[in-house]
Amino acid sequence: MPDEQQISMNQSCIFIIFGGTGDLTHRKLLPALYKLQKHELLPDNFAVVSVGRRDKTDEGYREEAVASIQGSRKDASEEAVDPDILNRLIQRIYYRRVNFDDDHTAYRALQTCLEQLDRQYKTNGSRLFFLAVAPEYFGVIVTRLKERGMLNNRHGWQRVMIEKPFGSNLKTARELNRTITDALPESHIFRIDHYLGKEMIQNIMALRFGNSLFEPLWNHHYIDNIQITSNEMLGVESRGGYYEKAGICRDMLQNHLLQMLALVAMEPPVNLEPESIRDEKVKVLRALRPFNVDSAKQDIIRGQYGPGLRAGQPVPGYRDEERVDQNSMTDTFIALKAHVDNFRWAGVPFYIRAGKRMNRRVTQIVIEFKKLPGIEFFDNFKNQNPNLLVVEIQPNEGLFFQINAKKPGNELIMERIDLNYTQSSWVQTNSPEAYERLILEALRDNKSLFTRWDELEHSWQFVDSIENSFKHFTPDFPNYTAGSQGPMAALDLLRRDGRRWWEI
């Protein structure tokens, strides 16, 4: 049998989405399944069971799924949804009602349904569960599935994909991890950080380990500082209830931003096996210097947006968002100076920032190289710009490299040259979406795009050090206008070091 067919046989399964009526399923998971179907990456023997707390028929749910998939096109330039492909997917989507913390009755009914679909689709007991539910249900769902023997079928395989947030601090993350690992082995757990599924984040390794131009310079001898930014124009939308408990540290820093930092700062892995990559990322997270009250006061800028404008339209301040306390002290912005205390990065600041309701949407990593020392003695080269390498993650996907060269003409004067590679325009809108890739990799049993427990453990340790020090000072919120660059103090964080945020 050819390899490809073998792979596809191994991937045969039922994909069960807990949280099937939720926002994530409709905005991301169903469109991702459609794309996988379109690219013929779904196995033939495959069905989807969406599980939710509301009453719905299969037909009713399918209609909603069609609307979500059709509505998911980013813009008119994206190919229209093909009705035949859509129909092939929709026919194998089912809906079942389960109260997640229900006793065994609902889970028993679900199990019967899965067994019947197993016979129909020849999926041999293999299950890929996706927990797209509020975090308080992660533990109970996994426990119920275990109690019903649904995680240790004698036939096939069982895997569980778990959305973030994985806990709200180190203690609760440990408790959750204990519950989950009691129910199934680490090798069957796929903890999601959807940033790892983004095209340009995967490109970081290719860029670093595929270019003799960069890797020899990738250390404190040549790099002045690294800037990691993830700014959004959106506010908290309808997620005020969740966000009040999370804030930007738990929502973005603990996961997405620290994962980007780990990929940028890690040593070359011994090979590209998932465990080898994760071993190296863990070492970086362990080397992050924790904050204390003094260093937090000095090197962390907190922010919360007040009312302002988005695209010329007035938008409310955070405290006026739905399900947000009028006196909330939740952070919607953070900028900080972090240090990775190891040989490679001694003395190199990692400036990290993320914010909601900012003036532009941008996720990018800027590597600022040191200037050449001799340049001081070349009068005409005094206006030398630092070399910058920028990995543009979104909304543009690309690379940007800033170098200096001679300005054309009779004088020997230096000018800045920008080398720009825009992948998103080259591949049009074809870069796979993060969730498309994550589902595919979980079907393939490839864990490199998922976080291992010890990665989470060390990132929580770091974030706990920040959250604990926050208890000792009260910022004056709100302190930035929606649609602005965030608090002015975030600019000073670099200015006082003689640096600036690069807005590329």
Which residues, numbered 351-390, are part of the site for ligand BG6 (CB under 6 A)? 363
The DSSP bridge pattern shows strands 300-303 and 333-338 to be: antiparallel
Residue 346 CB, shortest distance to ligand BG6, in Å, is 31
Distance CA 196, CA 176 (A): 22
Name which of 23 and 79 has its Cβ closer to ligand BG6.
23
Residues in the chain: 504
Q: Is 392 in the site for ligand BG6 (CB under 6 A)?
A: no
Residue 437 CB, shortest distance to ligand BG6, in Å, is 12
Residues 6+ apart with CB under 8 A from 79: 73, 429
Residue 496 CB, shortest distance to ligand BG6, in Å, is 29
Which residues, numbered 398-427, are part of the site for ligand BG6 (CB under 6 A)? none
Name which of 234 and 412 has its Cβ closer to ligand BG6.
234
Q: Is 331 in the site for ligand BG6 (CB under 6 A)?
A: no
Which candidate in 104, 256, 458, 472 is catalytic?
Answer: 256
**Dihedral sign of CA atoms 263, 264, 266, 269 in order:** positive
Give the x-and-dash track for 146-165 against ligand BG6 (CB under 6 A). ------------------x-
Q: What is the dihedral of CA 279, 280, 285, 286, to 10 degrees?
A: 70
Name which of 30 and 47 has its Cβ closer to ligand BG6.
30
Residue 193 CB, shortest distance to ligand BG6, in Å, is 8
C-alpha distances (whole Å) from 249 to each of 20, 202, 283, 295, 332 are: 27, 23, 21, 16, 9
Name which of 247 and 478 has its Cβ closer to ligand BG6.
247
Residue 363 CB, shortest distance to ligand BG6, in Å, is 6
| Residue with nearest beta carbon to ligand BG6 | 251
26 is catalytic: no
Residues 6+ apart with CB under 8 A from 419: 400, 401, 402, 403
Name which of 199 and 224 has its Cβ closer to ligand BG6.
199
Side chain identity at 487, as an amino acid letter?
P
Q: Is 251 in the site for ligand BG6 (CB under 6 A)?
A: yes
Which residues, numbered 299-328, are part of the site for ligand BG6 (CB under 6 A)? none
Distance CA 285, CA 451 (A): 12
478 upstream amide cis, omega within 30 of 0? yes
Residue 230 CB, shortest distance to ligand BG6, in Å, is 6
Q: What is the dihedral of CA 385, 387, 391, 397, to 10 degrees?
A: 60
Kindly tell me which residue out of 232, 331, 436, 455 binds ligand BG6, with binding defined by CB under 6 A: 232
Residues 6+ apart with CB under 8 A from 211: none
Active site residues: 256
Q: Which residues lie near ligand BG6 (CB under 6 A)?
A: 164, 232, 251, 363
